[in-house]
Each structure stands twice: as C-alpha cells, then as structure tokens.
Amino acid sequence: MTVAPAPTPARPPPWRDVRVLRIAGQAAVLLAVGLLLAWLWSNLQTNTERLGIPAPTDFSYLDQPVGQSIAGSDLRPTQSRLDALQVGLVRTIQIAIVGIILTTILGIFLGIARLSSNWLVATFARLYVELFRNTPPLVVVIFIYLGMFINGGFLPPQGEAFEIPKLLAMDIRGISVLWVSFTGSPWPYLLILALGVGLGWFVSRWRGRAQDATGKPAYPVLSGFIVFLAVAIVGWLALGGPTEITAPSVGADGRIAGGNKLTPEYAALLVGLVLYTASHVAEITRGSIQAVARGQDEAAKALGLTPGQRLRKVILPQALRVAIPPMSNQYLNLTKNSSLAVAIAYVEMTRVTSDLVANGAPAFQAFLLLAFLYLLISLATALITNTINSRLAIPER
C-alpha cells in the first residue's frame, strides 16, 4: 500500500474561499444598492426642503380637503384627499370588473368565431383581431373619445339627442341606458338572490346524482336554474318589488332624463379597453382550443359523444386550464390599462392622484401611494389566479 503525500491544509485563504466569496459578493451588491438608495433619498430630502414641499415622510396631505368634486360621484370638496383617493380606487375596481366581464364575453365569442367554418365569420374575427392587437390601447381610447365622441360627431350635440326609445339615448353629455336600480338598500334582495344560487346549486347536484344513479336524464342544470329563477321571482314579489326601471327619455328641449348615464369619458375608456383586450382574449381562446390535441376530439367522437357533449365534457375543460394563466394576465393588463383614464379625464385612481398633485399634493408621496395600490391589486390577482390554478390542476405523477 502506498502512502499518499501530506494533504494540503483544508482552510483556504478567505479571498479564495467560495463560501466567503458568496457572502462578500452579496454584501458588496447590497452595499452598492444601499449607497445608491441613500444618495437618492438624501437628494429627495434636500430638494423637497428647497422647494418648500412636504418632506418625503409627511403624509399629512391626505387629511387636507380636496377642494374640488369628482364628476359622477358624491364627493364634496370639503372631504379629504384620502376620501378622493378612495373614490378613485372604487372607480378603478369598478371599471376593471365591468371591463373584465364584457371583455371575456366578447373575446370568447371572437375566439370561437375565428375557428368558425363560415368564411365570413372567421374573416371578420381575424380582421378584428389584427386591427386591435396591433393598435396601442391609448390610440383606441383617444380615437373613440376625441375622434368619435367629443369631436367626431358620433355623439350629437345637446338638444339633438339620438334615441332608441326607452332603451338608449345619447348626446355629447353622455350615454343613458335603460337600467334597473334598487329603491332603498339592495342587500335584502341580493341576499335572497344568493339564497337562490345556493338552493339552485343543491338542486342541480341532487338531480345530477339522480341522473348518475338511474342513467335517465334528470336535467340537473335546467332544474337548478328553474329553482334559482323561482326564488328570484318569489323574493322580488315578497319584498314588494324593490327595484325600479329607469328608462332614458328625451324631453321637448332635447334634454335626456332618466336611465343610467355613462359619461363620454367612462364610455370611451370602457369601450376602448374592452375592444382592445378582447382581441387578446380572442387569441387566447383560439389558442387554447387548438392546444387541446385533435386526438381528444377524435377519441370523444369515437366514443359516440355529440358535438355539444364533446365540447362541454372534453374540449372546454382542457382548454380552460390552458387558458387561465394568459387570461388572468389579460385581466391584470386591463386593470392596469384603466390608468389610461388620466388621458381623457375619467377620474379613477391615477387621474385622482394626477389631479391632486396638480393641485399641490406632494408628488413623491402621492405616487408612492398610487404605485402601492396597484401592487396590491396585482398581488391580489396573482393570489386568486394561483388558487384557481392549483384547484383546477390535473394531478401529475
């Protein structure tokens, strides 16, 4: 047995030690970043002092009165800037939700149309997608607002309102649509509706089990829906009809009264966002349906399923899973794109902040707060998406 020569010592000098280098490397980067941030912060403090605006840590501006009102809301000028920001936040979320719903409907329809065997339908959808995907969303919104609504003659001037009787009336001050609103608090009826949903769900489950057990069709979805409808109607009657319909009407002087009025700003932003985002949703829908391998459809056919059954039980469930991540990404984009409101004076979160700053609020604090709110929304969306994704995930080995 030969003897190995004396081994070299196991303690390397620190400048060659991998472990030391790892820590030193991180420390160096942290130091550099820290120094940069410190320099920026000190500049901020110097400049705010010099300019006479509140120090970067001073958020007291939020308590001061906002000094103006917000079109379309109840905000009084004596309320605080924080209240104004809250109104803006609600507006952002509201337009996001409405936008998401409309976009989904339009986008899915277009996506399926893209795959239609009818050449005209497919071409129409394709032209739509190619048009809106390649147009910046701001261009769409501005074109609709300035080029169509305000200056383009799409909305007639006051006194010459365009009207579809009882349904729609519009002039340059806004678009009024037929609307259902609650007299008094909406909560009692909403509770009843929720009850109806729950009951309908149980009934459809029960009927579904009956169908599985006997093999005879028991129409679970239809039954559940009928139950829900019954509850909704009975509840409405029981509460004495808590809703009222307001219909727009054009008076003799040409003024519009009644209905739910959408300002041109809101309408332009909503329509622009929906038209733009729907083009992306259409592509996602199309892609996800095509992503489900043809073999799936063929296997389902071979098993004797009808086209409707194939679509509902085999294709769509798989397509849905593929589509959810990019779809939720588009929803988030739509929410972030609502900030385009600042360009056409629809007052949501971003416009509120921009207006506050224009009226003397400190820019750093105001925009920090705004960025923080958007980050919260992004985080919430990510969490919801991840939950849905993991719930729907098909187990793997």
Partner 1 sequence: MTGSIATNATAWAKENLFRNWRDAVLTVVFGLILAFLTIRVLSFVLGSDWEIQRVNMRNSLVGPEISGTDLWGPVIGIWLGAAAVGVLIGAMDRAQHVDDPGAMLDPLNPAHWPQLAARTLDRLWPLLALVAFSLLLTTSAAGLLVAIATLALGFLGRAVGMRLPLGSLRWAALAAGLAPLVAVLIIRYGFGIDWKDWGGFLLVAFAGAAGIALSFPLGILLALGRRSKLPAIKALSVAYIEFFRGVPLVVLLLIGSLVIGLFLPRSLIPSEAIRAVIIFTLFTAAYFAEVIRGGLQSLPAGQEEAAKALGLPGWRITTFIVMPQALRNVIPAIVGQSISLWKDTSLMFIIGLAEPLRLASAFTRQPEFRGQGLITLTLFFAGLIYWVVSFTMSRESQRLERKLGVGQR
Partner 2 sequence: MTTEPAGGGLRDATVTRGAGGVMIDMEHVDKFFGDFQALKNINMKVGKQEVVVVIGPSGSGKSTLIRCINRLEEHDAGRIIVDGVELSSDIKVIREVRRETGMVFQQFNLFPHLTVLDNITLAPRQVRKTRRAEAEKLGRELLERVQIPEQAEKYPAQLSGGQQQRVAIARALAMQPKVMLFDEATSALDPEMINEVLEVMKELALSGMTMIVVTHEMGFAREVADRVVFMDAGQIVEVGTAEHFFTSPREDRTKLFLSQIL
- We find the least distance from the C-beta atom of residue 28 to partner 2, in angstroms, to be 16
Q: What DSSP character marks residue 313?
A: I
List of residues 6+ apart from 3 with CB closer than 8 A: none
* Six token digits for residue 372: 């923080």
Which option in partner 1, partner 2, none does residue 336 bind, with CB closer than 5 to 8 A by kind? partner 1
Residue 7 in contact with partner 2, rule: CB under 8 A: yes
Binding segment toward partner 2, per CB under 8 A, in 3-11, 163-171, 227-235, 279-287:
3-11
CA-closest candidate to residue 126, choices 282, 284, 274, 289? 282
- We find the least distance from the C-beta atom of residue 373 to partner 2, in angstroms, to be 41
Residue 90 in contact with partner 2, rule: CB under 8 A: no
- Give CA angle at 122 (331, 140), nearest 5°: 45
Q: How far is CA 68 from the centre of its chain?
A: 28
- We find the least distance from the C-beta atom of residue 158 to partner 1, in angstroms, to be 16
Q: Which of 18, 40, 120, 237 binds partner 2 (CB under 8 A)?
A: 18
Binding segment toward partner 2, per CB under 8 A, in 12-20, 167-175, 238-246, 341-349:
12-20
Residue 135 backbone zone (phi > 0: left; psi -120 to 50: alpha; other: beta):
beta
Residue 21 in contact with partner 2, rule: CB under 8 A: yes
CA-closest candidate to residue 335, choices 369, 381, 367? 381
CA-closest candidate to residue 380, choices 88, 97, 102, 108? 97
Residue 213 in contact with partner 2, rule: CB under 8 A: no
SS3 294: helix
Which option in partner 1, partner 2, none does residue 343 bind, with CB closer than 5 to 8 A by kind? partner 1
What are residue 182's DSSP bridge partners? 243
Binding segment toward partner 2, per CB under 8 A, in 13-21, 151-159, 229-237, 362-370:
13-21
Which option in partner 2, partner 1, none does residue 17 bind, with CB closer than 5 to 8 A by kind? partner 2
Question: What CA dihedral angle connects 64, 68, 69 and 71, to 10 degrees?
Answer: -130
Return d(Cα 249, Cα 391) in angstroms, integer: 48
Residue 237 in contact with partner 2, rule: CB under 8 A: no
Return d(Cα 58, Cα 5) in angstroms, integer: 69
- We find the least distance from the C-beta atom of residue 272 to partner 1, in angstroms, to be 12
Nearer to partner 2, 1 or 180 (CB): 1
Q: Which residues bind partner 1 (CB under 8 A)?
A: 22, 25-27, 29-30, 33, 40, 43-44, 46-48, 116-121, 123-124, 130-131, 133-139, 142-143, 146-148, 151-153, 336-337, 339-340, 342-343, 350, 353-354, 357, 363-364, 367, 370-371, 374-375, 377-379
The CB density around residue 353, as the number of other CB atoms within 10 Å, is 24
- Is residue 86 within 8 Å of residue 70, measured between CB atoms? no
Nearer to partner 1, 104 or 338 (CB): 338
Residue 12 in contact with partner 2, rule: CB under 8 A: yes
CA torsion sign, 131 to 135 to 141 to 146?
Answer: negative
Nearer to partner 1, 123 or 389 (CB): 123
Residue 23 in contact with partner 2, rule: CB under 8 A: no
- We find the least distance from the C-beta atom of residue 22 to partner 2, in angstroms, to be 9
Residue written as token pair 């996506």:
111
Which option in partner 2, partner 1, none does residue 238 bind, with CB closer than 5 to 8 A by kind? none
- Is residue 104 within 8 Å of residue 258, measured between CB atoms? no
Residue 17 in contact with partner 2, rule: CB under 8 A: yes
Q: How many residues bind partner 2 (CB under 8 A)?
A: 18
- We find the least distance from the C-beta atom of residue 386 to partner 2, in angstroms, to be 26
CA-closest candidate to residue 170, choices 54, 261, 269? 261
Residue 5 in contact with partner 2, rule: CB under 8 A: yes
Binding segment toward partner 2, per CB under 8 A, in 14-22, 140-148, 154-162, 236-244:
14-22
List of residues 6+ apart from 110 with CB closer than 8 A: 125, 128, 129, 278, 279, 281, 282, 285
Nearer to partner 1, 113 or 170 (CB): 113
Which option in partner 2, partner 1, none does residue 8 bind, with CB closer than 5 to 8 A by kind? partner 2
CA-closest candidate to residue 147, choices 260, 262, 255, 264? 264
- Is residue 330 within 8 Å of residue 280, measured between CB atoms? yes
- Per CB under 8 A, residues contacting partner 2 are 1-5, 7-13, 16-21
